[in-house]
Amino acid sequence: MEQNIVNVAETKQPTIFKQFMNLVKRNELSHAYLFTGEDGAGQFSVAMGVAMRLFCTNVQNGIPCGQCPECRRIMNYDHPDVVMTKPDGLSIKVDQIRHVKSEFTKSAMEGSKKVFIISEAEKMTTGAANSLLKFIEEPTGNVVSFLISKNRNLVLPTIISRTQVVEFPSLSKKLMVEELKSSGVKPSEVNLMISITNSMDEINEWLKDDWFENTQRLLEKWFTYLVKSDAMAMPFIQMSLMPLITNKERQRIVISMMISLFDDVLQMKYETLSADQVKYPGILEQTKQAATKWNNDQVLAMLDELLNMNSSMNVNVNFQNIIESVTLKILTISQSEFVKG
């Protein structure tokens, strides 16, 4: 594994990670925890870090070394006393929990401890969650369980009541940028992505088939037409943009991408857009032209039209019609001596 999980946990959640290292040191771990927070906030890494600390044979300053055979087996998901479960398809099923329960009842194979990590715990079926309850409440032997969920509201209240809930704060913008760059995301996409979401899972979905990159490029072309007051912006929507907007979720993302584009223009007008914050670096010159060409009222009116797109979606208006209508309004505003009144 290229990156030590301990380093990830320390970087993303230094306070929480240190607290858990101290709990292990003082032998004060509870039997069950629910780690909750946004995707990518470090919940899984902290749980793995605790497991490594429990089994590490070469602890350094209270931190697992990440190099000994025990640590490496855990990082490679190959330790018999660290059992992991995640959704099989869309949910965690009863059969999967039966396997966990059977492991609960066994003695630790190589030590006195057992660790269970259940990812996406909110996806347990009701039957699976109920099946797990008594084993979480009354574990056999020296067992600690970590349930990980991005939404505690979707976890059964009976599960929550039997665990200690630990809320993981969102990553800072700086950490998000570093993580995206280290994941191979192109620099031209990073600022735009973090202006829309804090979820690494969501970003990974956007990166499939270069969808995000292609959509960003087409929106840059669409914007270029708008800056030139070129009516080609209208047919461009049907011919080029709509084929990429294949579902409701992508519609929502495209609206956010459009709003971010005009936010660049507005910030440039107010001289609050620094070079490292530009969300559409590929059309920086066109953004500057727009900031010069359009007055404040025009840009704010355009943003209002874009923000109203979500309301139109909520009443099930055809999405192509929504974009075409907003595009026409933006062209009209850009060509008029518009004063907001």
Q: What is the pLDDT along the chain (341 residues), one digit of tens a residue?
A: 334 788 878 878 889 999 999 999 998 998 889 999 887 788 999 999 999 999 999 998 899 998 899 999 999 988 988 988 888 878 888 888 888 777 766 654 555 688 999 998 888 888 888 878 877 776 666 888 999 998 888 888 888 888 899 998 877 777 778 878 877 788 889 999 988 887 777 888 888 888 999 999 999 999 999 999 999 999 999 999 999 998 988 999 999 999 999 999 999 988 888 888 899 999 999 999 999 999 999 999 999 999 888 888 777 779 999 999 999 999 999 987 654 44
Q: What are phi and psi of 257, to 5 degrees?
A: -65, -40
Task: Measure Cα distances from 43 to 24, 155, 171 in Å.
Answer: 17, 16, 11
The pLDDT score that the predictor gives to residue 122 is: 87
Burial 188-199 (b: 16+ CB within 10 A, else e): bbbbbbbbbbbb
Q: Rounded to an integer, what distance in angstroms lies between the CA atom of residue 105 and that of residue 127?
A: 19
Tokens 């066994």 appear where? 106
Amino acid 284: pLDDT: 94
pLDDT for 2 equals: 37
DSSP secondary-structure letter at 221? H
Q: What is the pTM of this model?
A: 0.62
